[in-house]
Chains A and B, each alone.
Chain A
Amino acid sequence: MYSASDFRKGLKVQIDGEPYVMTDFSFSKPGKGQALYRARLRNMITGNSFEKTFRSNDKLEKAALEERTMQYLYCQGDEYIFMDNVSFEQLEISKEQLGDAINFLTDNMDVEVLQYNGRPIGVTLPNFVNLKVTQSDPWVKGDTSGSDSKPVTLETGYVVQVPPFIEEGDKLQIDTRTGVYVTRVKE
């Protein structure tokens, strides 16, 4: 069981026997009042979402999901093709089911494919991936606007905020759970 204090974006839970993923989460607590845990939950099979506010004592069940390691091969329209590294079996997962994961997928990346009752419903990425910067505006020396960050585009098309010294061609480590920049990595 997960208690409300374990809630976070990406958590996979089970409600009425169906698997849900927490697609949005926010904590709020007015003044001296009660802690409120506002979550948006997406049914991993139907794709339907709903919002609910939980309190400290509320709990959610862990989703009963199986995982197998597969390699991402390529995408065809809105379908993404994965291959089992042992049996070479291939399967398709839709863009919708992949959600934010498409921002971080590169060819031949190993991921954990999630299955519910034998059906693929999503993937779990490594916590950190390295992605190349494909577009970045040069940093203007002497910029006194005081900003700590600028946006750059990565090879997957994902746009992320990074420190001003990052340049086109750099490889960056990105935390796939939060989507934020961690550090620049050497080849």
Chain B
Amino acid sequence: MIPVHGLHLRAVLIQALRTFFIDRGYLEVETPIRIPAPAPEAYIEPLTSEGWFLQTSPELCMKRLLAAGIPKLFQICKCFRKGERGDRHLPEFTMLEWYAASRDYRDLMTDCEVLLRYLAAAMGKGEKAGVLEWQGRRIDLGPEWERITVAEAFHRYAPCTVEEALAEDRFDELLVEYVEPHLGTATPTFLCDYPATLGALARLSPTDPTVAERFELYVAGLELANGFSELVDPIEQRARFLAEQKAIRLQGRDCGPLPEVFLDALETMPPATGIALGVDRLVMLFAGADNIDQVVAFTPEGL
């Protein structure tokens, strides 16, 4: 069944996203979807295409544009991740990414607040009370949104500390089962300061090098976006990539070549922030949909 209502909403929302960024001086860019060397990440598997790869995110190309002197840019594009299929996942999905020089992840959290309020008004939702309703929950977009560190969230909701979860290789399992259901219930939540090992392309906190300046935005338990202060040190970035490649090989997967051209470009990249937001999930939120199938024209199974 083609979800006509969801498609109408999707079109309006994408138009509003474009207007928002263009009005604020961001350059809309398009970068190649098919690339020779993706960023190696332990748990994100790219699809291959004639010996190259379909992008899992436009991150590396967009950072090369930052390094080339474009200070503010955004892109809405298709990304591909092998084997990801569920109520909130499609192996081919739509991503919004935006990058800005000379800012850090705190500024980015403010961007998210302004963007969602703008969209709610543009979509005719929540413009009066500033309240978004999704799956029987009411989320207040108005006041300052909750910001909670990963360590604090585990302390509050999980049966063990974040260090114990990492040591037992149960971080993701416990996050999904105990922590995520509590996030974004009253206001949206920024889950921030991830353990240093869980942010392959993020800068470590200058005040606490055990955590990365990375956050995930949750609304009503739905994970919407992942943002961070960008790592701009090419030596550190190479070491992180090699560690990720090692983790990939341990899973018996082929990790592809290192993105050398990107590592070269990092030499001239200014301090910056970047964020990836799942557009399909954003549409789900505004359409009241509990399944990603309700906001796309066709699913892989329906082709």
Interface residues of A (CB under 8 A from B): 5, 26-36, 53, 56-57, 146-149, 162-163, 180-181
Contact = CB atoms under 8 A, between A and B. Distances in A.
B88 A28 contact: yes
Nearest to A57: B251
- Indicate the size class of the contact surface on chain B: 20 to 34
B176 A30 contact: yes
Contacts, number: 65
B257 interface: no
Contacts of A36: 172-173, 176
Given A32-B44, A148-B3, A27 B89 contact: yes
Contacts of B1: 148-149, 162-163, 180-181
B176 A28 contact: yes
A72 B31 CA distance: 58
B84 interface: yes
Given A30-B223, A32-B198, 8 more contacts: A27-B87, A32-B226, A33-B171, A33-B175, A36-B176, A56-B83, A148-B3, A163-B1
A35 B43 contact: yes
Contacts of B226: 31-32
B286 to A, nearest CB: 12
Interface string B173-210: 10111001000000000000000001110000000000
Contacts of B89: 27, 29
Contacts of B171: 33
Interface of B: 1, 3-6, 41-44, 83-89, 171-173, 175-177, 180, 198-200, 216, 223, 226, 251
Contacts of A147: 5
Contacts of B251: 56-57
A26 B86 contact: yes
B223 A31 contact: yes
Given A5-B83, A27-B89, A33 B6 contact: no
Contacts of B4: 148
A35 B83 contact: yes
Given A148-B4, A148-B6, A33 B172 contact: yes
Contacts of A35: 43, 83-84
Contact of A31 (B85, B86, B173, B216): B216
A163 B1 CA distance: 8
Kindly list the 10 A-B residue pairs having the minimum CB-CB distance in the complex, ordered from nearest: A27-B86, A33-B172, A148-B5, A34-B172, A34-B43, A146-B5, A5-B83, A28-B176, A30-B175, A31-B216
A5 B44 CA distance: 14
A33 B45 CA distance: 11
B6 to A, nearest CB: 7
